[in-house]
Chain A
Amino acid sequence: MPRTAKKNPVDNIFSLVTAAASFSVIILIIGILYVLVSESSLAIGRFGIWKFLSSTDWDPVKESFGALTNVYGTAFTTLLSLVIAIPVAIGIAIFVTEISPNFLKGPIGAAIELLAAIPSIIYGMWGLFTLSPIMSNHIEPFLKKIFGSVPLVGILFQGTPMGIDILTASVILSIMIIPFTASISRDSFNLTPSVVKESAYAIGATKWEVVKNVVIPYSKLGVFGGIVLSLGRALGETMAVAFVLGNNHRITTSLFDAAATITVTLANEFAEADTDIYLSSLFYLALVLFVMSFITLAIAKFFLLRAEKKYSR
């Protein structure tokens, strides 16, 4: 390959440009990491790593900061939103690729992609003015009535439903990540060779059996990739949840309690952070999120690679 590149100057420039584009991303990431570390050095010095991560205190007046409530809120809302989004997204993908009549495929596909194009602040305002009253007046009291007294599960449904809570935030998040998971799953499903599917139908398999035994095993890598992508989006989403999560720095077990995620804390408190240690602690939080996203994506990538290896064998 290098020989042909040498021969053609255009080709040479082309590879240089693409290389520059790729390296600029790496430089950018290192730059962000550097800024985060240097800005948070004051808080790192004051609170250390373990103490900051394990402390549930967040008290700007007494200048005592810990990340645990934020990390907990981030993990909780992200996981819950995935639990809500994945079945719906895969359902959409299956319907569009295998079940729906042709004339419906276009409109549904366009609608899903439009969902991804809506700015997150719109979701936030919609959540505050529309979804949150619906949640607090109808859906949450209903859930509480059904599950509130069930042992174990019941602790998730305690308290007064106010509509500004983990559940509402997770529902909004799930709506925001459905497009990613759904469209990637749909594309992966479409990649299933029709010969294989037709063979399955030929030996008398039903639609359900074809989807379960042929399409999903064939495309699970792609689906997993879509889930990882939406996980990244859910971890970092800010404005949509900032309005409906309440920024409550406490560890809570009920879905009807307000909570705080890292991004929500940053969005809410950055502008008016008036002391150096306060600001530095916010940067420290951002650093924690950076590392969290890195670890999650690394784990996901690891599984993807392993699955790929197994698959190609």
Chain B
Amino acid sequence: MKMFLKLAMALALVFSFAHAEAAELLNGAGATFPYPVYSAWAFDYNKVTGTRLNYQSIGSGGGIRQITERTVDFGASDAPLTPEQLGKDRLLQFPAVMGGVVPVVTIPGVKAGELKLDSNAVCNIYLGELKYWDDNRIKSLNPKVNLPHSGINVVHRSDGSGTTAIFTNYLSGVCPAWKNKVGAGTSVKWPVGIGGKGNEGVANYTKRTPNSIGYVEFAYAEQNKLSYTLLKNPAGNFVEPNFKTFEDAAATANFDPKKHFDLWLVNAPGKHAWPIAGATFILLAKEKTDSNKKVVKFFDWAFSNGDKKAKELVYVPLPKSLKDKIRAYWKANGI
């Protein structure tokens, strides 16, 4: 009997702890791309507030499914959901952090930031219609660069990914032929090229294969010292991929709270805006006001205190104007 009592007490103790823990725990699931920055923020947030964040990077598709089924406090997706989709599943949505996608090339004799491309050239390269580096459509943009008469080896992602979704949305936006033939999505039916698995796969193939072009997340281009290209943006300027041009894209893009920020951050109109960027989004269940408040508290804290950490991890923090819009959106939705 005494033994039994002890056991019961021990169990009660364990459960009360579990309960106390549960109150301080936020569960999230979704996109793999922002996982490092969310966990870095969560680590610091835990030190300040004691709240723990459990984020499972299972992919955007999984994140959307989990929040739709209400098994997590928030979902995360690299692709914005449309207002119709959000309405149907009773979800709220806001961007949390940004990343850029950068075309990278390996051409003997061409240094980083030397090659200039416009959307027409990138599109035709990926359609397989522009086959040689010394094609006039590239040469005319780069009169001073010594381009070889070699076939272009196109590299793309072999796995489904938000990076591909951003890149194909960019191409669809600037290139009607791409939109009709291929379209945009996390994985598409590529007309040409070989597939590398993950950013590391694309970075590896591009680095190794002479006369190749690929596209990777900004962080990978930086870390692997790949030679990025300059791109012509809709304002007509050739821009370099860096924090400033990404932020300019976010600041000038039309993120509309009424549409739950449903926007691909591509071809932004800003003068110095990098044309291929993307925000990653947080999804909340509309009716779960209590847990939403806790989630929003975390992101509010991160917006105020997390920019430095994000930049260290080569993520692009949202510009202040957008953060203000998001805070107003929270208020408007009763969080």
Determine if chain A interacts with chain B.
yes
Residues in A lying within 8 Å of B, measured CB to CB: 57-62, 128-129, 133, 136, 160, 162, 164, 242-243, 245-249, 258, 267-274, 279
Q: Mark B281-314, 1 if CB is under 8 A from A, else 0.
A: 0000000000000000000000000000000000
On whether the beta carbons of B159 and A162 are closer than 8 Å, the reply is no
Which B179-231 residues sit within 8 Å CB-CB of chain A? 182-190, 194-197, 201, 204-205, 208-209
Q: Given contacts A61-B183, A61-B184, A246-B194, is CB(A269)–CB(B189) below 8 Å?
A: no
If A61-B184, A162-B205, A246-B195 are given as contacts, then 17 extra A-B residue pairs at C-beta distance below 8 Å, sorted by A number, are A58-B189, A59-B188, A60-B185, A60-B189, A61-B183, A62-B189, A136-B208, A162-B153, A164-B195, A164-B196, A243-B197, A248-B195, A268-B159, A271-B160, A272-B61, A272-B159, A272-B187
Question: Which residues of A lie under 8 Å from residue B59 when comparing CB positions?
Answer: 270-272
On whether the beta carbons of A164 and B194 are closer than 8 Å, the reply is yes
Cα distance A249–B190 in the bound complex, in angstroms: 9
Question: Interface size bucket, B side?
Answer: 20 to 34
Cα distance A164–B194 in the bound complex, in angstroms: 8
Cβ of B119 < 8 Å from any Cβ of A? no
Q: Mark B151-164, 1 if CB is under 8 A from A, else 0.
A: 00100001111100
Can you name the residue of chain A whose Cβ is closest to the Cβ of B183?
A61
Cα distance A59–B196 in the bound complex, in angstroms: 18
Residues in B lying within 8 Å of A, measured CB to CB: 32, 58-62, 64, 79, 153, 158-162, 182-190, 194-197, 201, 204-205, 208-209
Instruction: Show 11 A/B contacts (Cβ-Cβ < 8 Å), sorted by A.
Output: A59-B189, A60-B187, A61-B189, A164-B205, A243-B201, A247-B195, A248-B158, A248-B194, A249-B189, A268-B159, A269-B160
Question: Which residues of B lie under 8 Å from residue A242 when comparing CB positions?
Answer: 158, 197
On whether the beta carbons of B204 and A274 are closer than 8 Å, the reply is no
Question: Of A57, A160, A268, which is within 8 A of B160 by CB?
Answer: A268
Question: Which residues of B lie under 8 Å from residue A258 when comparing CB positions?
Answer: 158, 194-195
Q: Given contacts A129-B204, A247-B195, is CB(A272)–CB(B160) below 8 Å?
A: yes
- Which 3 A-B residue pairs are closest in the complex by CB-CB distance? A271-B59, A272-B160, A247-B158
On whether the beta carbons of B61 and A61 are closer than 8 Å, the reply is no
Q: Given contacts A243-B197, A243-B201, is CB(A268)–CB(B158) below 8 Å?
A: yes
Question: Which residues of A lie under 8 Å from residue B190 when comparing CB positions?
Answer: 248
Which residue, A60, A136, A272, has most C-beta atoms of chain B within 10 A? A272
Can you name the residue of chain A whose Cβ is closest to the Cβ of B212?
A162
Q: Given contacts A60-B187, A62-B183, A129-B204, is CB(A246)–CB(B158) below 8 Å?
A: yes
Question: Of A58, A128, A248, A271, which is within 8 A of B61 by CB?
Answer: A271
Question: Which residues of A lie under 8 Å from residue B201 when comparing CB positions?
Answer: 128, 243
Cα distance A129–B188 in the bound complex, in angstroms: 26
Question: Which residues of B lie under 8 Å from residue A267 when comparing CB positions?
Answer: 159
Can you name the residue of chain B whose Cβ is closest to the Cβ of A245?
B158
Question: Which residues of A lie under 8 Å from residue B60 when comparing CB positions?
Answer: 271-272, 274
Which residue, B183, B188, B189, has most C-beta atoms of chain A within 10 A? B189
Question: Which residues of B lie under 8 Å from residue A279 when comparing CB positions?
Answer: 61
On whether the beta carbons of A274 and B158 are closer than 8 Å, the reply is no
On whether the beta carbons of B159 and A269 are closer than 8 Å, the reply is yes
Report the minimum CB–CB distance from A283 to chain B (whole Å): 13
Question: Which residues of A lie under 8 Å from residue B187 when comparing CB positions?
Answer: 60, 268-269, 272
Question: Of B61, B197, B205, which is within 8 A of A273 by CB?
Answer: B61
Question: Which residues of B lie under 8 Å from residue A248 when comparing CB positions?
Answer: 158, 190, 194-195
Question: Which residues of B lie under 8 Å from residue A243 when comparing CB positions?
Answer: 197, 201
Question: Which residues of A lie under 8 Å from residue B161 when comparing CB positions?
Answer: 272
Question: Which residues of A lie under 8 Å from residue B197 when comparing CB positions?
Answer: 128, 242-243, 247, 268
Question: Of B58, B153, B188, which is within 8 A of A60 by CB?
Answer: B188
Question: Which residues of B lie under 8 Å from residue A268 when comparing CB positions?
Answer: 158-160, 187, 197
Question: Which residues of B lie under 8 Å from residue A273 when comparing CB positions?
Answer: 61, 160, 186
Question: Which residues of B lie under 8 Å from residue A136 when comparing CB positions?
Answer: 208
On whether the beta carbons of B62 and A271 are closer than 8 Å, the reply is yes
Report the minimum CB–CB distance from A66 to chain B (whole Å): 12
Cα distance A164–B155 in the bound complex, in angstroms: 11
Cα distance A268–B204 in the bound complex, in angstroms: 17
Q: Given contacts A58-B189, A164-B194, is CB(A272)–CB(B204) below 8 Å?
A: no
Cα distance A270–B160 in the bound complex, in angstroms: 8
